[in-house]
Chain A
Amino acid sequence: MLELIWLLPAFPLLGFLALVLTGGRLPMQIAGPIGAGSIGLSFAVAALVASEFLNSGLESFTYEAWVWMSVGGFNPGFTFYLDGLSMVMMLIITGVGFLIHLYATGYMSDDPSFARFFSYMNLFVSAMLMLVLGDNLVLLYLGWEGVGLCSYLLIGFWYTNPTNGYAARKAFVVTRVGDTSMAIGLFLLFAQLGTLNIQDMLHAAEMQWSVGSGFAVAASLLLLGGAVGKSAQLPLQTWLPDAMAGPTPISALIHAAPMVTAGVYLIARTHPLFEMAPSVQLLVALIGLVTLLLSGFTAMTQSDIKRILAYSTVSQIGYMFLGLGVGAWSAAIFHLMTHAFFKALLFLASGTVILSLHHEQNIFKMGGLRKALPVSFFSFLIGSLALTAFPFTSGYFSKDEILLGALELEGVGFWFWLGGVVGAFFTGIYTFRLFFIVFFGDSHAEHPPGKEVGGWHMNGPLILLMTLALAGGFIHVPLDDVFSHGEGYGEHHVSGLIHGIMIAVPLLGIAVSYLFFMSKTFSVDKLMASALAKKLHAFWFGGWGFDTLYNAVLVRPFLYLARVNRKDIVDSFYALVVTVSQAANGLIVKSQTGSLRWYALTVAGGLVVMVSLGATL
């Protein structure tokens, strides 16, 4: 049964091929079942394989489909590696992915490019499965780049609007920075350790390198660069908010199921490497902390419903990085899973809201939608509660694990914990700001909401995800074998005060939000009256000026250089070759006079030379 694991990426790939080879011309009634069904089959196989794997009691399982290439001692294969970590990942990807696909069959039903949409989605899922199941870094990299390509295609899905194309290019270019760093990391690992098989490589690293050695630091730093790019962490976080240009199910797929968490997976997968470079690991935690705080501030100022959710994703992945950085590996993966549930729920629910309001995304033009859109309302309520870590929702357990893990760290651990708690406070504010503004108060809609769009294939996934977002915290993630020296659950011994604070702070955030946006006890307008507040608002609204900074530091100088170098300095060397050959040609052409006597004279001259040579030699 375990051998069936190769079917996991194969089904979505087949779906992709079927949709692509028919030129995207399949009618919706066929393309929908192919697109969603292939992921469904994949999920069924994943569930089978997972249950078999758990029953077998194996620590890990490797299945080699075929050898990809064999060059010298380097022979990466299409080899799938199954252990607790990849099992959790594949279940999240296929499970949540299937629900999103199912939802998308309803959401996209009036789009003319329906089949094209599903072909990209299937390729996306296939690449992501390749990424998490690959047993060597080359296969992982193939999936990694496949995911990047698909995100580009999907963000720019409505390509007739230039803004979308721009957003897609931005996502592609920014993640490319990280990917390049990762590729260099792979070269370094292969050059030093002679293998790219992940398990062999990690063993070899532990054998050859000492803790904190230069190579370990460099390799983990380069891999971190890749992870930061893909997971939209500081300083490469700027692409994710713009990636909202695609259809909403894409946003759900990018944020929740697979893509942005790929960086988290990469670090978790190569965690022994990071443990050998404590300074880099600390850097991971620091990046996570700073990112989660910065994006928390930004999320409070946004007005686009999907942008708020996007910044909240950046913030939540910041938590995961924080967890990875402090060594709470399983807590980070646990949070990855619960985040997948509630973020998919939130995005899909926002999709329903947007579609019901005829593609309105500004939250200040919504309001009072509680009655009109009951399914979205409940979805948002549960998703928001989980996101703010309301007690006994899924987000509560996972965020708790991360924060307690941070607290266990010697020295700076307390500050990490404090930062995380402050972040949780902001999470409460911005999440419920969105919730209160959209679903309560007076309606500001330009078009009064019609009937809530839906149907079983849109509402079904929402209901399932609601259940998961509520109860997902009780799922036991079997990661003890993977992270051998990680800590288990419920083994933290901390005072009740700490627990009390961690429960109270998100509630405090919700309360603040309530006072501002629900009861209007405090007025936002009053707060915004001062000039400083206005400036801060503008600054945070622009995402801490990162886009402006990159524009000024990177984009403008590059464009300037491109303009200066319009004639291409490097090309002039080749132009010189052309000029010289043309000049030589001109000279030789002059010798071709067409006159017979001239030719005879040159022949005689040649004769003279030959005879003199023959006489002297």
Chain B
Amino acid sequence: MTFLFYLAGAIAIIATFAVIVQTNIVHALLYLILSLLAVAVIFYVLGAPFAAVLEAIVYAGAILVLFLFVIMMLNLGQHTRDQEKGWLTGRMFLAPGLMSALLLGQLLNVLSQVDQNMAVTRVGVMEVSALLFGPYVLAVELASILLLAGLVSAYHLAKR
């Protein structure tokens, strides 16, 4: 299991890196799906099978398909790829890379102060569901309203 965690982690990092340097948008999308599936595996390893399944269905399935539709609608072909190549120069990465490295360094610094090697506790579907339909039922309702609002506004915005 530990091996699986590191493997999935490595795949996730590599795939994500590929997403942000990719010039072909469809390839990038596929790399993103790969990254998300790897994260789903990690969820499973960490003892959250429900979250793993949702990650695969909602993220890798629904949301990314939405992206695909939009890419098709916009008809971003070969000229977009050339354009991306022109835009993606090494200098572009300098400031953001520096900033992100700084942030990561700080995060690692903070994490190093946390206790090491704690065991993973499994949290089953039952417990999550009991919480969702118990104390957090209002939050669930609000989330559904948020989705509805997102639906309506997306329809409105995309309308001619």
Contacts and interface: CB of A to CB of B under 8 A. Distances in A.
Complex contact flag A–B (Cβ < 8 Å): yes
A614 B103 CA distance: 12
Contacts of B90: none
Interface in A592-617: 601, 604-605, 607-608, 611-612, 614-615
A604 B106 contact: no
B106 A612 contact: yes
Interface stretch (B53-61, B94-102, B136-144): B94-102
Nearest to B100: A604
B110 A611 contact: yes
B110 A604 contact: no
A611 B106 contact: yes
B109 interface: yes
B109 A604 contact: no
A605 B98 CA distance: 11
A615 B99 contact: no
Interface in A158-198: none
B107 interface: yes
A608 B106 contact: yes
Contact of A607 (B95, B103, B109, B110): B103
Interface string B45-79: 00000000000000000000000000000000000
A611 B99 contact: no
A611 B105 CA distance: 11
Contact of B110 (A601, A605, A608, A615): A615
B99 A604 contact: yes
B103 A608 contact: yes
A273 to B, nearest CB: 80
The winner among A601, A608, A614 for most chain B CB atoms within 10 A is: A608
Contacts of B103: 604, 607-608, 611
Contacts of B100: 604
B109 A601 contact: no
Contacts of A614: 110
Contacts of B96: 601, 604
A612 B104 CA distance: 11
B95 A611 contact: no
A392 B22 CA distance: 124
A591 to B, nearest CB: 15
Nearest to B95: A601
A562 to B, nearest CB: 58
A615 B109 contact: yes
Interface in B93-150: 95-96, 99-100, 102-103, 106-107, 109-110
Nearest to B96: A601
A615 B106 CA distance: 8
Q: Interface size for chain A: under 10, 10 to 19, 20 to 34, or 35 or more residues?
A: under 10
Contacts of B99: 601, 604-605, 608
Contacts of A601: 95-96, 99
A572 B107 CA distance: 51
A607 B102 CA distance: 10
Nearest to A604: B99
Contacts of A611: 103, 106-107, 110
Interface in A25-73: none
B103 to A, nearest CB: 5
Contacts of A607: 103
A610 to B, nearest CB: 10
A347 B140 CA distance: 99
A378 B107 CA distance: 112
A608 B95 contact: no
B109 A608 contact: no
A614 B111 CA distance: 12
Contacts of A612: 106
Nearest to A614: B110
A614 B110 CA distance: 9
A602 to B, nearest CB: 10
A420 to B, nearest CB: 97
Nearest to A611: B106
Contacts of B107: 611
Nearest to B110: A615
Interface string A303-328: 00000000000000000000000000
A451 B102 CA distance: 108
Contacts of A605: 99
B102 to A, nearest CB: 5
Contacts of B102: 608
Nearest to B92: A597
Nearest to A610: B106
A174 B109 CA distance: 80
Nearest to B106: A611
Contacts of A604: 96, 99-100, 103
Nearest to B102: A608
Nearest to A612: B106
B68 to A, nearest CB: 23
Nearest to A615: B110
B63 to A, nearest CB: 21
Interface in A356-375: none
A528 to B, nearest CB: 98
A494 B106 CA distance: 111
A612 B106 CA distance: 7
A612 B107 CA distance: 9
B122 to A, nearest CB: 31
Nearest to A607: B103
The winner among B95, B106, B109 for most chain A CB atoms within 10 A is: B106
A607 B100 CA distance: 10
B113 to A, nearest CB: 8
5 contacts: A607-B103, A608-B99, A608-B106, A611-B107, A611-B110
Interface of A: 601, 604-605, 607-608, 611-612, 614-615
Q: Which 9 A-B pairs have the closest CB atoms?
A: A611-B106, A615-B110, A604-B99, A608-B103, A608-B102, A612-B106, A615-B109, A615-B106, A607-B103
Given A601-B96, A604-B99, A611-B103, 12 more contacts: A601-B95, A604-B96, A604-B100, A605-B99, A607-B103, A608-B102, A608-B103, A608-B106, A611-B107, A612-B106, A614-B110, A615-B106
